[in-house]
Structure 1
Amino acid sequence: MPKLDLTLNTELPEETVSQVVTGLTELTQTLLNKQPDVTRIHVHQNQSLCYVNAAQVTGPSAFNLAIYITEGTNTEEQKAQWLQATYQLLNDVLGEGAPQLPNYISIHELDARDWGYNGLSQFARNR
């Protein structure tokens, strides 16, 4: 049951957003063994200003991606593969220029008792 939050400093065409969301869902299923039917992705576009070294980023897309997963459900190798493949996907889709920016991807592991969906914790769902 992953939740992903992608923040972009630019506005993307709908077909590009669809490509990103499809790619993230597939990578998350393939590399982290997460079920697509409970994978939720929020895309925040042009929500805030982005600065690097105190200068506003106005050119290529800068991104920040956070994924929330249940603690202990993935190996270090799986997470490393997901980080690398996800960066490559976003870099490929967002185009030239993105590699020069510090773009961040983070994995947040939460205790199964501390999060869930539709009123049940992951701990309760797995019992």
Structure 2
Amino acid sequence: MPGIKLTVSGNGDTGLSEHLATEVSALTCSVLEKELGKTMVVIRYIPPEQWFIAGRSLASLGKNSFRLEVTITEETNTKGQKAEYQRQAFELLSTLIGNVHPHSNVHVIDCAATSYGYGGLTQEYRYQRGG
């Protein structure tokens, strides 16, 4: 049940958002072995004048950027899977967004099964009940 939050520099673009959501979901489900039917994506845009790296706005740097945060249940993925996800996600988003600052980043967030869930039930509860 990954929760994906993608922040992208620029102005909102419905077509780009749909494409990003589709591609990031597919990558997440493939590399981290998650179910697409239980994947949530939220995309937001920040104007380049309001995004700063090393004290300079992206607008002044002439660059784009992203921050990808993927929340997963703790102990459901190996270090190797997360490292591969980091590599592939950075490559994918660099290609889709273009001209990205190297400080754009991917953050895989491991949450305890007792603290993470959906539909009012924790992942631990689902695990204990076999579902």
Q: Shared fold (TM-score greater than 0.5)?
A: yes
SS of residue matched to 1:93: helix
- Structure 2 residue 67 is the aligned partner of structure 1 residue 60: no
In the alignment, is the contact (CA less than 8 A) between 2:12 and 2:44 conserved in 1? no
In the alignment, is the contact (CA less than 8 A) between 1:66 and 1:106 conserved in 2? yes
1:119 offset after TM fit, Å?
Answer: 0.5
Distance 1:46 1:111 in 2: 30
Distance 2:65 2:92 in 1: 13
Q: Which moved more, 1:49-58 or 1:67-76?
A: 49-58
SS of residue matched to 1:68: strand
- Structure 2 residue 117 is the aligned partner of structure 1 residue 106: no
Alignment of 1:1-127 (within 5 A): 1-46=1-46, 49-58=50-59, 59-95=62-98, 97-98=99-100, 100-127=101-128
Question: Runs of at least 4 residues of structure 1 off by over 3 A?
Answer: none
In the alignment, is the contact (CA less than 8 A) between 1:6 and 1:64 conserved in 2? yes
1:64 offset after TM fit, Å?
Answer: 0.8
In the alignment, is the contact (CA less than 8 A) between 1:20 and 1:89 conserved in 2? no
1:11 offset after TM fit, Å?
Answer: 1.8
Question: How big is each residue's C-alpha offset from its partner over 1:10-52, in whole Å with a ceiling of 9 and x where there is no partner?
Answer: 1253222222111111111111111111111110112681111
Question: How big is each residue's C-alpha offset from its partner over 1:42-85, in whole Å with a ceiling of 9 and x where there is no partner?
Answer: 10112681111211111332111111100000011111111111
Matching residue's letter, 1:13: D
Q: Which runs of 5+ in 1 are unaligned?
A: none
Instruction: Report the TM-score when normalising by structure 2.
Output: 0.88
SS of residue matched to 2:64: coil
SS of residue matched to 1:113: coil
Aligned length: 125
In the alignment, is the contact (CA less than 8 A) between 1:7 and 1:47 conserved in 2? no
% same residue: 26
Q: Which moved more, 1:42-51 or 1:31-40?
A: 42-51
